[in-house]
Amino acid sequence: MLRLLQTSDLHLGARNVDLGEAAATLRDRRFAAFERALALAISEKVNLVLIVGDLFDTNEVTRGLVTRVAAGLAGLATAGIRTVILPGDHDRAGSASVYRAFDLGALAGAPDSVTILDPLAGPAGDLSLPELGLTLTARFPAPELHDDRWRIGLVHRQARPRDDEIAGAGVDYLAVGGPHEESSGVAADVAWGASGAPDPVDPGRDRSGEVILVRLDERGDRRSVSVERHRVGSTRYEALALDLGGFADDGALEAAIAARADGGAGADLILDVHLSGAWSDALEADPDALEARLRPRFLGLRIRSDGSPALTGGAIPPAETVGGAYIRDLEARIANPVEGDLPVDELREALRLGRQLLIAGSDR
Ligand SMILES: [Mn+2]
């Protein structure tokens, strides 16, 4: 029986400029998930660790990061565990590859325990491990790969290959990197598994934050593969859509967003808020101000708005008053926009401000 720990899409060293101050925290959390994956490999006494692409977020990472990764791999080597790494989309193989700029095995002090599989090398790039009774290949498919060992393929793609491609891969098990969510299955007699990202790297991926343990069993001439999920990540991404028409004042709006951080939940949460709809004059609904006030409660917070101030409801002051004339003029321009006038969203903002300045407190 052989056991492998499989991970991919760690995206270490990502700059995440859109996340502002949270970016550095997020990098630390991703690295922590990587370290938890390695600790799991050691405690589970696996035979092999597979990293199926996008270990690094870019080929231009710092020596400091590569050195920290190498130290982790050195820990595996000390425990007698070999690591096999496939370059991905972000840490692409080729002349500019991070794996050419740095020799991870040498940095780990264990050149025999760390292998970079070159997807461009053809059959010569296959890795034969007779002591484990398996052969690994980065070729996809590798239909001529016939030996009586376990044959394991590694492939990195944005979406998992189709069933007919997997069925013709020429392997017993296909390790898939690229999809950021966990999934696994069998196509014809080929088992496949994708671990997803060990710490979630983007929104809308419920099955991420995990690594998988792959078990290869042989009884007589019957081979079976099973996949077991293990959580190592903690970051969560959520989206929150709010209709501004449902809020009586800014306090209520702020409370609705803040509620997502209740019970300390904000510490692990990157929340993406989308405000829409028409808001009443009782609200400022300023996304930047809300974001500044609420950001400390979350790991990351983004608030976007494409809402607009409400048109004037209820009775309008008489047309001969300044306020009444102003509102009638703007309502008409909003209802029948003409070329050369201000954009409608600016007219609506002018309408809102006018209502506040000219008729606030009146009995309209
Ligand atoms: Mn990726």
Domain range annotation of the chain: 2-231, 236-310, 311-364
Place of tokens 């500044």: 292
Distances (CA, A) of 190 to 63, 111, 152, 173, 229: 39, 31, 10, 6, 19
2-231: what fold?
Answer: Purple Acid Phosphatase; chain A, domain 2 (3.60.21)
Ligand 1 centroid to Cα of residue 90, in Å, is 7
| Nearest in space to 127 (alpha carbons), one of 105, 104, 145, 106 | 145
Distances (CA, A) of 100 to 60, 106, 282: 11, 12, 60
How many other CB atoms are there within 10 angstroms of residue 284's CB atom?
13
Q: 37-85 pLDDT, tens per residue?
A: 999 999 999 999 999 999 999 999 999 999 999 999 999 999 999 999 9
Ligand 1 centroid to Cα of residue 175, in Å, is 14
Q: What's the pTM?
A: 0.82
Q: 308-322 pLDDT, tens per residue?
A: 888 888 788 899 999
Encoding tokens for residue 175? 């390790």
Residue 361 pLDDT = 55
Confidence of residue 360 (pLDDT cuts 50, 70, 90): low
End-to-end CA distance of the chain: 81
Least confident of 34-48, 135-149, 169-183, 243-257: 135-149
Ligand 1 centroid to Cα of residue 192, in Å, is 18
Ligand 1 centroid to Cα of residue 16, in Å, is 14
Distances (CA, A) of 192 to 6, 162, 173, 174, 185: 11, 11, 5, 5, 6
Ligand 1 centroid to Cα of residue 25, in Å, is 19
Please count the CA atoms within 13 angstroms of the CA of 206 that sit on its side-chain side: 0
Ligand 1 centroid to Cα of residue 17, in Å, is 17
Ligand 1 centroid to Cα of residue 64, in Å, is 21
Ligand 1 centroid to Cα of residue 267, in Å, is 24
Ligand 1 centroid to Cα of residue 337, in Å, is 46
Q: What is the C-alpha separation between 272 and 194, in angstroms, rounded?
A: 26
Ligand 1 centroid to Cα of residue 127, in Å, is 24
Reported in sequence order, the residue ranges of the chain that DSSP labels E, i.e. its strands, are 2-7, 48-52, 82-86, 114-116, 127-129, 134-137, 150-156, 173-177, 183-187, 190-194, 210-219, 222-231, 236-243, 269-276, 278-279, 300-305, 308-309
Ligand 1 centroid to Cα of residue 69, in Å, is 17
Ligand 1 centroid to Cα of residue 54, in Å, is 5
Please give the DSSP secondary-structure letter assigned to residue 349. Answer: H
Q: Are 41 and 49 in contact (CB under 8 A)?
A: yes
Residue 363 pLDDT = 45
Q: Is 118 exposed, middle or buried (0-12, 13-18, 19+ CB in 10 A)?
A: middle
**What mean pLDDT, rounded, does the chain reach?**
93
Torsion over CA of 36, 40, 46 and 52, rounded to 10 degrees?
A: -30
* Ligand 1 ion: residues within 5 Å (CB): 9, 54
Place of tokens 């002018």: 350
Whether the CA torsion 179, 182, 185, 189 is positive or negative: it is positive
Q: 12-24 pLDDT, tens per residue?
A: 999 888 777 788 8
Long-range contacts of 12-19 (CB under 8 A, 24+ apart): 12/55, 12/56, 12/57, 12/61, 12/65, 12/69, 13/56, 13/57, 13/58, 13/61, 13/62, 13/65, 14/57, 14/58, 14/201, 15/57, 18/302, 19/270, 19/300
Helix and strand numbers (H, E) in the chain are 9, 17
Distances (CA, A) of 317 to 5, 32, 324, 351: 72, 62, 5, 14
pLDDT over threshold 90, residue 170: yes
Where would I find the H helices in 191-343?
Answer: 250-258, 287-294, 322-335
Q: 326-348 pLDDT, tens per residue?
A: 999 999 999 999 999 999 989 99
Ligand 1 centroid to Cα of residue 103, in Å, is 22
Question: Span 157-178, mean pLDDT?
Answer: 96
